């Protein structure tokens, strides 16, 4: 069982959250020319690192906010969580 | 190589089992090979075997960071099937079913091939319609498929919950009678033993730490046992694909996720088929030892842990109990996890890469075991001929860019919910 600290509600069990994937994926800017290559990278290509991973989680059975989590994909250690508009370095 | 038979068994039994040859050797790596296969799981071992058998390429090394057969080929739920709707998948896996049928004879190793039939349960009229369509597509590709009504399912699998007071009543199911199971460890060992006998060096406890590439061409690999030169290198590393891709500066349409499986205590024979739940993700068969072998959903977030988390197991077994109420009475014997190379459309990748002499075999999601022989067979062809076989032409790396996805389930790129 993971315990995740929602930036708004505090520490809760994994059961309250839904996963949202790699948080470093950036959608190409709206209203600009997007090449097939950039679109392909955005939609399909993922680093999927072994080790530290910054990812999106959704507190779906709580405050329903999306936020960022930095987690180790091998040990599941969670280093920090942050609001969606904060950067995790 | 010593041939295995009932006579060799009796002969060796009488001699106290002292004269068995080793099944495969433990060589140190040579300085150079024609082909290096990275990954000593089922797919890597099968590739090495078919390179030697079908293409007479025997100056081959297979390097494995741990021991052979310790990854996903030893962690799956041993199911064989080819019940796919799309041509690319159906024809590919059906070739695999042909290879399964003759595998024990081919490898002189009993892989306990058991075509007991696989039944996908349907829980609504809409699902019956979808299964009818899938079954017809399968039959057009020469794959056996039978649409079963509720009463027919009841006759075959009486232990299912057929009561009226259930959330997901059973309407019927789609059966592939030729689907079934095989002993997974035996598959790895059988391929290893034959590949070794034809000259393949199986190098265990040899972890790859880098690649030597010059002018866009592969020159060799760097490992914990030194640098090894090679004309061609094939990657068959399943859940570790993204780790090796990073060394190659490649980003792939793959995420690594964890899948759990479990077995109950052994009980008397109660289930003759492989049965899958249609209203969620749960599948079950009974091993020859009597254990109920079960699996279901991914843990749901990127993971390289090779061990699972309880919430998913609980969720999966809730589905199991909804399907087979008697499961609630059983004790759990073992649970375990393996890491899956989840591709963005749920279908695999067997292709060349932009690096000359480097070949990629990945993206098996959680369906890699059944593909073991045909994956090795087509990958060996791709490496030996430096071009894809028509059976794996659809499994190209470029399909994500060109839009030729093979999205069997129509789930899109959320790999963790597929």
Q: Do B413 and A19 touch (CB under 8 A)?
A: no
Mean pLDDT over residues B90-107, rounded? Answer: 97
Q: Which residue of B has its CA nearest to A17?
A: B300
Mean pLDDT over residues B309-335, rounded? Answer: 96
Q: Do A74 and B305 touch (CB under 8 A)?
A: yes
Q: Tell whether the model's pLDDT for residue B418 goes beyond 80.
A: no
Tens digits of residue pLDDT in B251-310: 999 999 999 999 999 999 999 999 999 999 999 999 999 999 999 999 999 999 999 999
Q: Which residue of B has its CA nearest to A37?
A: B401
Q: Tell whether the model's pLDDT for residue B164 goes beyond 90.
A: no
pLDDT at position B74 is 96
Tens digits of residue pLDDT in B196-254: 999 999 999 999 999 999 999 999 999 999 999 999 999 999 999 999 999 999 999 99
Instruction: Determine contact: B162 vs chain A, CB below 8 A.
Output: no
Residues β-bridged to residue B290: none
Q: What is the pLDDT along chain A (89 residues), one digit of tens a residue?
A: 899 999 999 999 999 999 999 999 999 999 999 999 999 999 999 999 999 999 999 999 999 999 999 999 999 999 999 999 999 97
Instruction: Determine contact: B349 vs chain A, CB below 8 A.
Output: no
**What confidence category does residue B417 fall into, taking pLDDT thresholds of 50, 70 and 90?**
confident
Q: Do A19 and B401 touch (CB under 8 A)?
A: no
Class of domain A19-25+40-89: alpha beta
Q: Do B254 and A2 touch (CB under 8 A)?
A: no
ipTM of the assembly?
0.96
Mean pLDDT of chain B: 96
Taking contacts as CB-CB distances below 8 angstroms, the residues of chain A near B242 are 46-50
Q: Do A46 and B242 touch (CB under 8 A)?
A: yes
Mean pLDDT over residues B14-35, rounded? Answer: 96
Spans of all domains in chain A: 19-25+40-89
Q: Do A46 and B305 touch (CB under 8 A)?
A: no
In the 3-class helix/strand/coil scheme, how is chain B assigned residue by residue? CCCCCHHHHHHHHHCCCCCCCCCCCCCCCCCEEEEEEECCCHHHHHHHHHHHHHHCCCCEEEECCCCCCCCHHHCCCCEECCCCCCHHHHHHHHHHHHHHHCHHHHHCCCCCCECCCEEEEECCHHHHHHHHHHHHHHHHCCCCCEEEEHHHHHHHCCCCCCCCCCCCCCCEEEEECCCEECCHHHHHHHHHHHHHHCCCEEECCCCEEEEEEECCEEEEEEECCEEEEEEEEEECCHHHHHHHHHHCCCCECEEEEEEEEEEECCCCCCCCCEEECCCCCEEEEECCCCCEEEEEEEEEEECCCCCCCHHHHHHHHHHHHHHCHHHHHCCEEEEEEEEEEEECCCCCEEEECCCECEEEEECCCCCCCCCHHHHHHHHHHHHHHCCCCCCCCCCCCCHHHHCCCCCCCCCCCCHHHC
pLDDT at position B54 is 98
Instruction: Determine contact: B315 vs chain A, CB below 8 A.
Output: no
Taking contacts as CB-CB distances below 8 angstroms, the residues of chain B near A36 are 401
Taking any CB pair shorter than 8 Å as contact, residues of chain A touching chain B are: 1-2, 14-15, 19, 21-22, 36-37, 40-41, 43-50, 53, 55, 71, 73-76
Distance CA B282, CA B295 (A): 6
Q: Tell whether the model's pLDDT for residue B184 goes beyond 70.
A: yes
């Amino acid at each position: 069982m993971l315990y995740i600290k929602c930036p708004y509600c505090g520490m809760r069990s994994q059961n309250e959250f839904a996963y949202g994937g790699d948080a470093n994926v950036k959608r190409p800017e709206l209203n600009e020319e997007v090449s097939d290559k950039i679109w392909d990278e955005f939609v399909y290509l993922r680093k999927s690192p072994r080790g530290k991973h910054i990812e999106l989680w959704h507190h779906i059975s709580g405050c329903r906010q999306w936020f960022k989590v930095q987690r180790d994909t091998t040990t599941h250690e969670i280093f920090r969580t942050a609001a969606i508009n904060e950067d995790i370095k | 190589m010593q041939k295995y038979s009932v006579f060799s068994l009796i002969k060796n039994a009488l001699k106290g089992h002292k004269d068995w040859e080793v099944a495969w050797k433990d060589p140190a790596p040579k300085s150079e090979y024609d082909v290096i296969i990275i990954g000593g799981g089922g797919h890597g071992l099968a590739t090495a075997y078919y390179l030697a058998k079908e293409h007479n390429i025997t100056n081959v090394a297979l390097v494995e960071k741990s021991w052979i057969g310790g990854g996903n080929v030893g962690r799956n739920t041993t199911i064989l099937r080819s019940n796919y709707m799309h041509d690319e998948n159906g024809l590919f896996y059906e070739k695999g079913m042909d290879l399964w049928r003759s595998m024990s004879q081919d490898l002189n190793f009993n892989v306990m091939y058991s075509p007991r039939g696989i039944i996908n349960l349907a829980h609504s009229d809409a699902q019956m319609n979808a299964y009818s369509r899938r079954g017809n597509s399968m039959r057009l590709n020469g794959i056996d498929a039978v649409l079963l009504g509720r009463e027919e399912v009841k006759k075959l699998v009486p232990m299912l919950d057929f009561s009226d007071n259930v959330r997901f009543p059973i309407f019927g199911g789609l059966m592939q009678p030729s689907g079934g199971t095989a002993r997974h460890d035996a598959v790895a060992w059988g391929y290893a033993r034959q590949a070794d006998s034809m000259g393949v060096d199986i190098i265990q406890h040899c972890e790859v730490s880098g690649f030597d590439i010059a002018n866009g061409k592969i020159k060799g690999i760097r490992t914990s046992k030194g640098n090894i030169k090679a004309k061609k290198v094939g990657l068959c590393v399943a859940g570790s694909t993204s780790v090796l891709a990073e060394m190659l500066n490649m980003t792939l349409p793959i995420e690594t996720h964890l899948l759990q499986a479990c077995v109950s205590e052994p009980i008397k024979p109660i289930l003759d088929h492989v049965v899958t739940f249609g209203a969620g993700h749960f599948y079950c068969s009974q091993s020859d030892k009597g254990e109920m072998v079960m699996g279901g959903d991914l843990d749901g977030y990127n993971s390289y842990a090779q061990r699972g988390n309880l919430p998913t197991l609980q969720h999966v077994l809730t589905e199991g109990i909804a399907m087979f109420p008697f499961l609630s009475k059983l004790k759990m014997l073992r649970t375990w996890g393996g890491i899956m190379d989840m591709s963005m459309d749920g279908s695999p990748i067997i292709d060349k890469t932009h690096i000359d002499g480097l070949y990629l075999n990945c993206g098996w999601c959680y369906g890699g075991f059944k593909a073991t022989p045909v994956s090795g067979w087509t990958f060996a062809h791709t490496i030996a001929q430096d071009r894809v076989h028509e059976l794996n032409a659809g499994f190209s790396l470029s399909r994500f860019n060109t839009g030729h996805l093979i999205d069997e389930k129509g789930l899109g790129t959320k790999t963790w919910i597929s």
